Structure 1
């Protein structure tokens, strides 16, 4: 996972270079927009939440959307488990439709499925509308991870009470930022859950816990392993873009070369668009075709590099780049021109979160990275966020609130029953937990895995290592529920 105009899910970072750049946000004009799920059945419900859970002054309320499925739930009397996905920075239907693993294992466990939406995303807008909710720093001030986790806790308790299901064990799931929320909720509210599967959750990507160049080094390594020529062509292209963008004729030529819908104003906008594509490609370098972010072939980085490397002799560097990046932005061939600033999944609230507490330092190492050299700069970020929102980032707040430094000692003593699953092709894996912390804080790491691949629906093309990873996850989840049921005298045997 440009300034934070670029996610995510994203995910999602704030950096500066000779020209600013950070993790991806732009998905493109023809990104897959969330539709009502066709293969999964659920009911859409709404729950009235407090706007501020941490004050006794009434700051107002808002309606939180959640999706629920009880088709396979064996009921409260038999202590059927509740599988709850912690909603990310976007429309909850998008995440539910891309979490097939949870749907597939629900019948085996007799589980209820619950997908609460994150406040300030999708339909869960305070103040009645997105325009009003995003109006200024005052209305946005309740968009925090702490408030979101509290939403999930309150909803969960109320739902269990209404269904007389207080004795039903709850397992949390989440991918990316949702995985961070799942892990943090398990640590913060251990009395409400029995465990959490945190997939591709970069909960250590804060302050100086991991080297700031980690993310872009992994993206670069993913391209280097497919083709050194591809890697070098991308590395060379940034200078070409900057040089050509220094005059109006050059900007006009770039607009034509990259088939943009409108006139390019700065070469940096195009650089951000390309950087987003490369980062997203590393995230979704799945072994089979997918459409999580965009419709893509299997091993999409390999296909991008084929586009770059197979161009005829004499083809310019930027033409080669266009041939390659078209695999990401136009694999279906349906796009006539490209718009650089679409937000089809409604993730723009992440810009606020990145300017307040979700500050993930990043940089680019010229020796290992195919990206231009840049370093994280606190002063620049403070000035940028003051210009955008009138606030300064709290660089150390997340680790104060949730921990992270010396996590092996602190979580070993205070945490239990969390799976940190990661694929090493995913650039966010560098900020996640890659080694077991204790007997119950488990790291499942795969060499070829990409961004929360384990949460996606199974396919006939799943490699053996992915099948084995999911088998391990099921075994651990079963052990959590069994341990809970032994203490509660459950009537349901999985």
Structure 2
């Protein structure tokens, strides 16, 4: 029985290929940036789309959907003629329901995000579920420098320094996807088969950008929770944390206030004699805290990711969580007896995110203490997304975006200078309405307003073919997740609208091909 809810809906290669057959099932990030005194939090960068605490794929998730795992040897640099080593890009492919080139069977391509592609495959059930009705092939290419798609033979070599990381960019990733699908179509004599793009979060950004950059390769894109406007000064930098804060405040004002007051309480405790040892004990840390700032970052991560996955049903997208997890966090914080300290309340609440199953005995702050992961590199080069926290609307500590501090920390970590205007130079962003209206078509921007990334996306229809689907109760690319019996009516309606729009793109393409053939 669908849950009720009040939500508004607005409108083969010349190179070696290795193949592995796998079976999966569909089931229902952020170091500090600049050096500061040890008990104070550091200047901020937006949380990564993919949590460093993401939950591994379980054996139960490897049951239903059959696909082949293949590797395509990509150029390291698509935009030069330098003789550089190629690298194996992993991709997942399922042609079980594909009607083939003779019937112009579509190819559904999911633009791989900043992580293991299998994880995105098992969490993108919508693509798998609609493929049979369209007679579509399903293709999940992995993003370079993530998962198994490592240049230079290993992660250690690929992440060695700024020189080896230099080819980790969005534009190189889009070229990978384009070269792969073009080569695949050629080998299958399927050059005329239409390609439809899908992506969520960073993958949604890539899907929208690929449609704009390579319109001759893909006929349309579903860009779910794609914050393509979170650059320079296009949107206010406090947008992200304001939405996170509103998500908590709508559940409980007292919960919001407790979290807002907690930062001062934690810093004060950390400054006391043996205060860090006490906080270590209160928050059940595996190793003793060396700064209150590390604890604050850990908590901020949890609140941000809870807002992203505030789904109306239980899920295990990032961590195993109950339905409406923010509601459960606030119940814990508010429900403790009078006299319970603020740090104790915060621990009980955040345990919903970090330990809902009750299996963890203690917690590690960060599995990558140096922050030298792929997303941090991208954030320090071209994916420069300003963030701040407002005094009144935010439950987080107040701070302004400081590009100078950000730049210094990027140089310290990677010996690289950010290029904050490069993304808008490449893909646009300023005056997005005019740009999309004049030069774009066949893109769905879907967003749920509980998702903190929604404030940085396209929330209004631009034209008849650039459509915004906005839901009041939706969270981070919930429409791409597998369908469940608990899906609320508004989500069922949203997916039906997306299917209708995609079918329209394909029908128009087929009709144009038929007209060309008749001529």
Instruction: Give the alignment's TM-score, normalised by structure 1.
Output: 0.94
| TM superposition shift of 1:108 | 0.3
Equivalent in 298, 309, 319 of residue 284 of structure 1: 309
Map Cα deviations across residues 103-141 of structure 1 (whole Å, 9 max, x no partner).
000000000000000000000000000000000000000
For residues 34 and 451 of structure 1, do their structure 2 counterparts lie closer, same or farther at Cα, with a shift above 3 Å needed?
same
Q: Which residue of structure 2 lines up, in the alignment, with residue 397 of structure 1?
A: 422
In structure 2, distance between residues paired with 1:120 and 1:40? 25
Aligned residue number for residue 249 of structure 1: 274
Counterpart CA distance in 1 for 2:229 and 2:334 is 36
Distance, in Å, in 2 between the alignment partners of 1:119 and 1:160 is: 21
- In 1, distance between residues paired with 2:297 and 2:507? 48
Structure 2 stretches lacking a partner, 5+ long: 1-28
| Other-structure match for 1:232 | 257
* 2:442 corresponding residue in structure 1: 417
Question: How many Å apart are 1:20 and its aligned residue?
Answer: 2.7
**Cα contact 1:49–1:64 (8 A) shared by 2:** yes
Residues 1:315 and 2:340 are matched in the alignment: yes
Q: Where do 1:352-367 residues align within 5 Å?
A: 352-367=377-392
1:60: Cα distance to partner?
Answer: 1.8
Aligned partner of 2:114 in structure 1 is: 89
CA 1:14/1:410 → structure 2, altered by over 3 Å: closer, same or farther?
A: farther
1:32 maps to 55
Q: CA RMSD in A?
A: 2.0
Cα 1:308–1:375, aligned 2, differ >3 Å: closer, same or farther?
same
Consecutive aligned runs of 4 or more in structure 1 exceeding 6 Å deviation: 13-18
SS for the counterpart of 1:245 is helix
- Asked whether the equivalents of residues 21 and 272 of structure 1 are also in contact (C-alpha less than 8 Å), the reply is no
Q: Is the 1:14–1:376 contact (alpha carbons within 8 Å) kept by the matching residues of 2?
A: no
Aligned pair 1:21/2:44, yes or no? yes
Q: Secondary structure at the match of 2:453?
A: helix
Instruction: After TM superposition, give the deviation of residue 342 of structure 1 in Å.
Output: 2.5
Aligned pairs for 1:392-471 (under 5 A) are 392-471=417-496
Q: Does 1:5 align with 2:35?
A: no
Q: Deviations over 1:410-465 (max 9, x none)?
A: 11111100000000000000000000111100000000000000000111111110
Per-residue Cα deviation, 1:141-174 (whole angstroms, up to 9, x for no partner): 0000000000000001000000011010000000
C-alpha distance in 1, partners of 2:187/2:105? 15
Question: Residues of 1 paired with 2:121 and 2:52: CA distance?
Answer: 21
Query: Distance in 1 between the 2:365 and 2:119 partners?
Result: 21
Deviation (angstroms), 1:405: 0.1
Task: Count how many residue pairs are aligned between Structure 1 and Structure 2.
Answer: 480
What SS does structure 2 have at the residue aligned with 1:427? coil
Contact between 2:145 and 2:374, CA under 8 Å: does it hold in 1? yes
* TM-score, normalised by the number of residues in structure 2: 0.90
Query: Does residue 498 of structure 2 align to residue 473 of structure 1?
Result: yes
| Aligned pairs for 1:94-493 within 5 A | 94-247=119-272, 249-342=274-367, 348-489=373-514
Q: Which residue is 1:49 aligned to?
A: 74
Change (3 A) 1:28 1:70: closer
